[in-house]
Amino acid sequence: MQTIISPSLLAADFMNLGSDIEMVNNSQADWFHLDIMDGVFVPNISYGLPVIEQINKIAKKPLDVHLMIVDPDRYIEAFKKAGADILTVHYEACTHLHRTIQNIHSHGMKAGVSLNPHTPISVLEEIITDIDVVLLMSVNPGFGGQSFIESTYNKVEKLAKLIKEKNTEVIIEIDGGVNLETGKKLIEAGADALVAGSFVFGAKDPNQTISDLKNL
């Protein structure tokens, strides 16, 4: 299977968001990665529902929405209405994670669970067969452009092993500090999907950079 590429619009040019979305539409990218931050779960605020609604009007690929917010259950229906196709919540933000996953599925979206760098893979043991995506953070969530945390490779291997043991199918997605070098090693470790923000939108030729990641 070819790697799924999900460019993060956090690093896009918000004065020219439309043209950056068209670039992704016309590229080899598979998804749009949208980072939602509330200034509480993470020390930064990004953008919210009205922006997603606008993105959804012209985006021709699934919206991969990464919620870095407390109490995500309050907003599941709203994100569905705004156009989310995949809704990922943080393990660390959900007291009743199983219920949250059921809620996401009942709204017809794919459900993802994200783990912060310090959270071990073992916490997924009882939920892995109920979810569609695991989003492993390879930086501390909150900002783009940070450097990759090396211990992520080992986590990817552990997660791939758990998925195999449980005889289930879950997409292993990695977020933070992805470039051609880290991306290659992540794929070797078992990653299925790569999020890339600054590496794509900071490149001279973002479209070509997406192809380069896709063809690693």
Q: Which residues bind ligand DX5 (CB under 6 A)?
A: 8, 10-11, 33, 35, 66, 139, 141-146, 175-178, 195-199
In the complex, minimum distance from the CB of residue 142 to ligand DX5, in angstroms, rounded to a whole number: 5
In the complex, minimum distance from the CB of residue 167 to ligand DX5, in angstroms, rounded to a whole number: 30
144 is in an annotated binding site: yes
20 is in an annotated binding site: no
In the complex, minimum distance from the CB of residue 64 to ligand DX5, in angstroms, rounded to a whole number: 10
108 is in an annotated binding site: no
Q: Give the residue, chosen from 30, 35, 64, 132, that forms a contact with Zn ion under the rule CB under 5 A.
A: 35
In the complex, minimum distance from the CB of residue 179 to ligand DX5, in angstroms, rounded to a whole number: 8
C-beta nearest to ligand DX5: residue: 197
Q: Give the residue, chosen from 20, 38, 173, 175, that forms a contact with Zn ion under the rule CB under 5 A.
A: 175
DSSP states along the chain: -PPEEEEBGGGS-GGGHHHHHHHHHTSS---EEEEEEBSSSSS-B---HHHHHHHHHH--S-EEEEEE-S-GGGGHHHHHHHT-SEEEEEGGG-TTHHHHHHHHHHTT-EEEEEE-TTS-GGGGTTTGGG-SEEEEESS-TT-SSPPPPTTHHHHHHHHHHHHHHTT---EEEEESS--HHHHHHHHHHT--EEEESHHHHTSSSHHHHHHHHHT-
Active-site amino acid positions:
35, 175
Query: In the complex with ligand DX5, which residue's Cβ is closer, 20 or 35?
Result: 35
Q: Identify any residues that bridge with 35 across adjacent strands, giving them in sequence order.
A: 66
118 is in an annotated binding site: no
Feature table: binding site for substrate? 8, 66, 142-145, 175-177, 197-198
Residues in contact with Zn ion by CB under 5 A are 35, 66, 175
